[in-house]
Amino acid sequence: MKFFHLSDLHIGKQLHHYNLREDQEHILAEVLSYAASIHPDAIVIAGDIYDKSVPSGEAVSLFDEFLTALAKIEPAIPVLIISGNHDSAQRLDYASRLLGSHQIYIAGQVPEEEEDGLKKITLTDAFGEVDFWLLPFLKPGYVRKIFGGEVPESYTAAVQGILEREKIDFSRRNVLVSHQFYTGKGETPTTCESEVLSVGGIDNVDISVVQEFDYVALGHLHGAQRVGQEKIRYCGTLLKYSVSEANQKKTLHVVELKEKGSEPEIQKLPLHPLRDVRKLRGNAGRDP
Ligand SMILES: [Mn+2]
């Protein structure tokens, strides 16, 4: 099972008042050309599709063009999408049942009612089936009803509770797609200025609750990195979205899962942005 792991597209984002539409169009075209040549079994987008909960018409058109171009690749490549903290869960879910019949699977809203469950997409390869679990961005308050009307005491408890009720069969291969701030094993993830995170670490989810998955495809942090284990990973953004990322190398992550129990292989393909972000130092406002 070979799939692209993307996150944090932030379509519609501006950088220091520069419109990044052309840059985003260019980098999505590069993803499309990789998709056409590699033909992965799936494309996973782990949240923050848009930069704003009410995206501009231009931003919606750009994502629409991307999905339309992807759908022209034959045979069809399933696309698995969750919402991030920047997305409106309801807006992202628009027409999601219709799109599901075209193998575009969107999970915007986290389960809120007793009878709701996570969206699970099962794909097959030479080694058998892989279950992809789509966990949209959540805050403990969103899932209160499932917890008997009480807000779970932490983000970790909320994610743990939502996953436990799915009774996941871990003798099978399972991939979790999630958009939260994961920490664990004494590792503090590296953050950048383009992320909107709450400070103080109260929103963190401990990786102990996701360790049984064969791969955890994360979104939220904009720098690519593992969290505690190789298989629990943020892929980072496709473009540099702040000056603090000037020295990062953005890549396209291609994950390959083989038989149950084997470590996933992660390949990082080079990306070629239209323009680069560089940090320049100067003595602004001072005469030489
Ligand atoms: Mn983000």
pLDDT interval class at 279 (50, 70, 90): confident
**CA-angle at 166, arms to 92 and 77, nearest 5°:** 45
Domain spanning 2-270, CATH class:
alpha beta
* Per-residue pLDDT at 287: 56
| Ligand 1 center–CA 33 separation, angstroms | 24
DSSP strand E in the chain: where? 2-6, 14-15, 18-19, 42-46, 79-82, 104-107, 119-125, 128-135, 173-179, 181-183, 204-206, 215-219, 225-227, 229-234, 251-256, 265-270
d(CA 212, CA 83): 23
* Per-residue pLDDT at 283: 72
| Ligand 1 center–CA 99 separation, angstroms | 24
| Ligand 1 center–CA 135 separation, angstroms | 15
Residues contacting residue 248 through CB under 8 Å, at least 6 positions apart = 192, 223, 224, 236, 240
The domain spans of the chain are 2-270
| Ligand 1 center–CA 266 separation, angstroms | 21
| Ligand 1 center–CA 9 separation, angstroms | 8
Report the predicted TM-score, pTM, of the whole model to 2 decimal places.
0.95
| Ligand 1 center–CA 74 separation, angstroms | 30
Pick the residue with more confidence: 41 or 200? Answer: 41
pLDDT of 199 over the 60 cut: no
R_g over Cα of the chain: 19
Mean pLDDT of the region 262-278: 94
What the block records as the tokens of 205 is: 């989810």
| Ligand 1 center–CA 128 separation, angstroms | 33
pLDDT of 218 over the 60 cut: yes
| Ligand 1 center–CA 89 separation, angstroms | 14
| Ligand 1 center–CA 166 separation, angstroms | 27
Contact 49, 87 (CB under 8 A): yes
| Ligand 1 center–CA 38 separation, angstroms | 26
Residue 264's φ and ψ, nearest 5 degrees, are: -65, 145
